[in-house]
């Protein structure tokens, strides 16, 4: 069968309208170009882009130390002045400075319903309520209690814990709870395949995994490949209860809130990390093979936090829209920068959960 495609020329009035629009746009560009040059001064931006921004000050067989040539900003100087040398002391400093300001907020979920699509797929639709906020003091206290709760469960300082969870307020709280007890956080993307997730858990010799209600079914299948895992801490769903069936014998499953409750009654004190202690072991996406764990000390994290502050000042009313997961250290530090900045900065977290 031969199909003949006939090209119909557009009508004269459509062609005339399009040509008129192009002509008007060209005239507008020509008339406003001098104004653009005066206001924007693009040559200055080009010069700033080409300037020398940093210099190598030390080289060893295993490392290169690079120092910015710019003067440190006020936030950078404040971190130095306040003696902030770790992620743990960063949160303490933020809580002491900003106290009762809102820090982390979560919207309440009133109900959930299925919404069928024309293509047969079914989307989940959340009916949302208002935000419930934790102040800086609340965040610091809850992180401290979570850390103590981990110790009550048998976790020890400098013993790795895996964070296999999607972005939400409890992710940040759990991470800072680990920092309170000098527990390194191993971050693994929730989107990785089963083998990659098991590889990260086994390579870091982990026995405790922090995850979410939504990821429990996925992690249940991975347990057979992670023989050392004996404790699963899950961040609760606002509406649904956990199904504990189908897990291998000997696995302890405990909710995030229950860990916090253990910490409230605990007498275990925080174990602040030193700058050289490991803060994060961030696993890559494995795009070039098996995911690789990148070891970052608290000194590394604070140096990057100060560099962020120098490169991107924070002002009242700024909004950070985070498209990266918190399992990515860039996103983790960007949001912590907003927390230590404290200047009424809004952080929008992208997740299937209603976090803020």
Into how many domains does the chain fold?
Answer: 1
The reply to whether 262 falls in a domain is yes
Q: Which residues contact 324 (CB under 8 A, 6 or more apart)?
A: 330, 331, 334
Q: What is the DSSP string of 78-104?
A: HHHHTT--SHHHHHHHHHHHHTTSEEE
Element (H, E) at 310: helix 298-311
The reply to whether 229 falls in a domain is yes
What's the rounded mean pLDDT across residues 209-234? 93
The reply to whether 327 falls in a domain is yes
The reply to whether 68 falls in a domain is no
Q: Print the domain residue range for 186.
A: 75-349
- pLDDT value for 356: 39
Over the stretch 9-23, which tens digit does the pLDDT of each residue have?
Answer: 667 788 888 999 999
Q: Is 338 helix (H, G, I), strand (E, B) or coil?
A: helix
The reply to whether 93 falls in a domain is yes
Residue 153 belongs to domain with CATH number? 3.40.50.980
The reply to whether 268 falls in a domain is yes
The reply to whether 16 falls in a domain is no
pTM for this predicted structure: 0.82
In terms of pLDDT, which residue wins out, 2 or 248?
Answer: 248
Question: Euclidean distance between the first and final Cα of the chain, in Å?
Answer: 58
The reply to whether 354 falls in a domain is no
- pLDDT value for 355: 43
The answer to whether 200 and 224 have CB atoms below 8 angstroms apart is: no
In angstroms, the CA 308 to CA 101 distance is 22
Quote the percentage of the chain above a pLDDT of 70: 93
Over the stretch 66-116, which tens digit does the pLDDT of each residue have?
Answer: 888 888 999 999 999 999 999 999 999 999 999 999 888 888 889 888 888
């Amino acid at each position: 069968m031969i199909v003949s495609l006939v090209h119909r020329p557009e009508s004269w009035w459509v062609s005339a309208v399009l040509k008129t629009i192009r002509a008007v746009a060209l005239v507008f560009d020509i008339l406003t170009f001098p104004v653009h040059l005066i206001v924007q001064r693009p040559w200055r931006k080009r010069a700033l882009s080409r300037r020398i921004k940093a210099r190598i000050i030390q080289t060893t067989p295993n490392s290169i130390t690079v120092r910015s040539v710019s003067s440190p900003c006020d936030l950078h100087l404040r971190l130095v002045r306040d003696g902030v040398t770790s992620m743990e002391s960063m949160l303490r400093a933020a809580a002491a400075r900003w106290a009762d300001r809102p820090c982390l907020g979560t919207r309440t979920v009133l109900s959930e319903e299925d919404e069928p699509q024309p293509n047969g797929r079914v989307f989940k639709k959340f009916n949302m309520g208002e935000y419930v906020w934790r102040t800086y003091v609340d965040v610091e206290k809850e992180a401290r209690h979570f850390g103590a709760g981990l110790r009550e469960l048998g976790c020890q300082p400098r013993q790795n814990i895996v964070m296999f969870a999607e972005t939400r307020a409890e992710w940040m709280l759990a991470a800072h709870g680990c920092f309170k007890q000098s527990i390194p956080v191993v971050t693994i993307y929730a989107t990785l395949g089963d083998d990659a997730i098991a590889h990260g858990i086994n390579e870091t010799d982990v026995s405790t995994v922090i995850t979410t209600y939504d990821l429990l079914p996925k992690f249940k299948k991975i347990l057979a490949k992670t023989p050392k895992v004996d404790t699963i801490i899950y961040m609760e769903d606002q509406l649904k209860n956990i199904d504990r069936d189908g897990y291998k014998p000997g696995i302890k499953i405990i909710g995030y809130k229950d860990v916090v409750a253990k910490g409230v009654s605990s007498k275990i004190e925080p174990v602040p990390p030193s700058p050289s202690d490991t803060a994060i072991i961030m696993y890559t996406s494995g795009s070039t093979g098996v995911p690789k764990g990148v070891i970052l000390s608290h000194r590394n994290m604070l140096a990057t936090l100060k560099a962020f502050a120098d490169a991107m000042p924070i002002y009242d009313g700024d909004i950070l829209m985070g498209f990266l997961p918190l399992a990515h250290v860039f996103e983790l530090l960007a949001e912590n920068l907003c927390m230590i900045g404290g200047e009424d900065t809004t952080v929008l977290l992208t997740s299937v959960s209603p976090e803020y």
